[in-house]
A and B are shown apart, each in its own frame.
Chain A
Amino acid sequence: MKKAQIRMFETIAVLFIFILLIGFGLVFYSRMHSQGMFDRREERYEKHAIEVAQAAVSLPELKCSSYNTVVSDCIDYLKAEAFIEAVSQNPGLKNEYYFDLFGYSRIEFREIFPGGSVFVIYDFVPEDIVSRSTFNTPMSLYYPSRRTYSLGMFTVEVYEI
Chain B
Amino acid sequence: MKQKKSQMEIMGVAIIVVLLILGLLLFLRFSSVERPATLKEPFQRAELASSTLNTLLRTTTGCGRSSVAELYQDCVGPQKIFCENSDGEKISSCEYANGFVRIALMETIGELKRHYDFRVSHGSDGVVVYQIGDCGNFVDKDSSRYIIAGTEQHIAFTLDICG
Contacts and interface: CB of A to CB of B under 8 A. Distances in A.
A119 B43 CA distance: 24
A43 interface: yes
Given A114-B62, A136-B112, A137-B48, A72 B38 contact: no
B55 A138 contact: yes
A125 interface: no
Contacts, number: 83
Contact of A73 (B16, B27, B35, B55): B55
Greatest chain A CB density within 10 A among B40, B43, B55 is at B55
Interface of B: 12, 16, 19-20, 23, 26-27, 30, 35, 38-40, 43-44, 47-48, 50-52, 54-56, 58-60, 62, 65, 67, 104, 107-109, 111-112
A138 B56 contact: yes
Contacts of A87: none
Interface of A: 14, 17-18, 21, 24-25, 28, 32, 39, 42-43, 46-47, 49-50, 57, 72-74, 112-114, 133, 135-140, 147-151, 153
A25 to B, nearest CB: 7
B55 to A, nearest CB: 4
A131 B47 CA distance: 22
A135 B38 CA distance: 13
B16 A17 contact: yes
Given A46-B38, A133-B40, A139 B51 contact: yes
21 contacts: A28-B27, A46-B38, A49-B40, A50-B39, A72-B54, A73-B51, A112-B108, A133-B40, A136-B48, A137-B47, A137-B51, A138-B51, A138-B55, A139-B55, A140-B54, A140-B55, A148-B65, A149-B58, A149-B60, A151-B108, A153-B108
A113 B55 CA distance: 12
Contacts of A150: 59-60
Contacts of A114: 62
Contacts of B38: 42, 46
